[in-house]
Amino acid sequence: MKLSAFFAILSATSALGARVPGANSKITYDGYKAFRIHTGENEALVKSKVATLKETINFNMDTAEHLDVVVPPKEVEAFVALGLDSVVIHEDLGADIRAEGDFAPYESAASAAVPSITWFNSYHAYADHVTWFRDIQAAFPGNSALFSAGTSVQGRDIFGIHLWGSGGKGSKPAVYFHGTVHAREWISAKVVEYITYQLVTGYSTDSAVKAILDKYDFYIIPFVNPDGFVYSQTTNRLWRKNRQTRSGVSCVGTDINRNWPYKWELTNGASTDPCAETYKGRAAGDTAELQGVVNFTKSLAAGKGIKLYIDWHSYGNYILTPYGYSCSARPANNARQLELARNLNTKIQAVSGTRHTVGGACSTLYATIGDSTDYLTDVSKAEFAWTIELRPGSSASNGFVLPVAQILPSGQEQWEGMKWLIANM
Ligand code: 0X9
Ligand code: ZN
């Protein structure tokens, strides 16, 4: 999601704040509609008109072309009266959330058996994701281990899976993935799971898979923000931040992707308002989640080094190279980064036509400070540190609530891309 004007989201934030549910009560979003409004030359005018409605929620700030906005039932009439050039992307957001939330029960695989591919036919409860990772590790016992990168603010383990090849555990540079930094971006965990699944099942049967796992150690953390993910399942599907509370503040949550201890002190690219969706925290790295994850990242950098880091997010279909903190700074190997990223886009597109916009994170999307990829680039010295924004893209008719039928295609296209990238980088 592009967040080009952080202040536009303040209205969204207060709208969310107004619906803070009581303990255990779930926001249904029944009757809420979501619209994609064409902006183009009228970007400022469109935003100012939408801002006259009090309880809309801006999904994106990718507003150069369109603004995606969620409108509660009581404001639909007023929205229509604004006369904006728009299409409906969720006729009834509540119904779409219910359809998506109809999780298939996960039957834990028999001892040492690979879980069924049907895992990718549905979203799942957090506890099932944990079991699934235990099962996939057990199916690849000589070449994998679960690890812990720390603990969330509510005490959940920030677990990951480490996969290695013929050189043995920890002998090669790292390919390092993060999923679910933002709670509502459910497709990101599914995609890193799909890649994990393909690595585990392909190692003994596919020479191309064996080659990449023999060359790199993979460290995959599917839920950097487990508390937020659970909250997005139990209470508010559109939750983004972690679930950290702070003294003297009623709003909950810090944006983990604005809290990394690098360029955090800059002012353009995060919010100091604890109620904002991009709240950066009170001090660099003061989220519970990053305390562990930063240390884990340091251990990889100090070990065999980090070749590739990808922070998997949704949505909009972007491949974003450094930097977020500056729209003019470029990493030393920028030309190589862009060449690889453009080729990655081509490989992904060959699977089923999905196109990604490729470019520098700030110049292509918007500025971010304290974001993971800048830290991984300049502090951890990762050769490539990118953000990939998954489906849907700009032409699709949905936002964070991506239909289950798109889980598998999302995984397949990203896997084909990763197989090519990792073999050729
Ligand atoms: O804002 C973010 O953290 C990421 N987008 S999302 O919609 N998933 O929240 C984008 C991070 C990439 N960095 C920059 N655009 N600078
Ligand atoms: Zn995100």
Neighbours of 215 (CB within 10 A): 17
Quick check: CB of 366 below 6 Å from ligand 1? yes
Write out pLDDT tens, residues 255-304: 999 999 999 999 999 999 999 999 999 999 999 999 999 999 999 999 99
- Average pLDDT for 126-146: 97
Task: For residue 25, give the CATH number of its domain.
Answer: 3.30.70.340
- pTM of the predicted structure, to 2 decimals: 0.94
Would 134 be classed as within a structural domain?
yes
Let me know how long the chain is: 425
Write out pLDDT tens, residues 220-262: 999 999 999 999 999 999 999 999 999 999 999 999 999 999 9
Q: Looking at residue 110, what is its pLDDT? A: 83
94/219 same-domain check: no
Would 259 be classed as within a structural domain?
no
In angstroms, the CA 385 to CA 383 distance is 7
Mutate to test the pocket of ligand 1, among 63, 181, 182, 277 (most ligand atoms within 8 A of CB): 182
Would 9 be classed as within a structural domain?
yes
Can you tell me which atom of ligand 1 is nearest the CA of 1?
7
75/198 same-domain check: no
Task: For residue 367, give the CATH number of its domain.
Answer: 3.40.630.10
Supply the residues annotated as catalytic. Answer: 389
90/130 same-domain check: no
* φ, ψ dihedrals at 385, nearest 5°: -135, 105
Would 158 be classed as within a structural domain?
yes
In angstroms, the CA 47 to CA 52 distance is 9
In angstroms, the CA 5 to CA 60 distance is 10
21/158 same-domain check: no
Would 344 be classed as within a structural domain?
yes
Would 108 be classed as within a structural domain?
no
In the chain, the number of structural domains is 2
56/126 same-domain check: no
- With cut-offs at 50, 70 and 90, classify the pLDDT of residue 61: low
Which structural domain range is residue 389 located in? 117-232+279-424
41/131 same-domain check: no
Q: Looking at residue 1, what is its pLDDT? A: 53
92/123 same-domain check: no
Adjacent-strand bridge partners of 146: 161
Would 262 be classed as within a structural domain?
no
Quick check: CB of 326 below 6 Å from ligand 1? no
Q: Looking at residue 24, what is its pLDDT? A: 62
388/338 same-domain check: yes
Quick check: CB of 284 below 6 Å from ligand 1? no
Residue identifier of the C-alpha nearest atom 9 of ligand 1: 1
138/57 same-domain check: no
d(CA 279, ligand 2 centre) in Å: 13
Q: Looking at residue 58, what is its pLDDT? A: 82
Decide: 29 and 393 in contact? Cβ < 8 Å: no
Mutate to test the pocket of ligand 1, among 13, 320, 327 (most ligand atoms within 8 A of CB): 320
Quick check: CB of 182 below 6 Å from ligand 1? yes
- Average pLDDT for 24-46: 91
213/301 same-domain check: yes
Residues measured by CB to lie within 5 Å of ligand 2, the ion: 182, 185, 313
17/151 same-domain check: no
Would 71 be classed as within a structural domain?
yes
Decide: 348 and 414 in contact? Cβ < 8 Å: yes
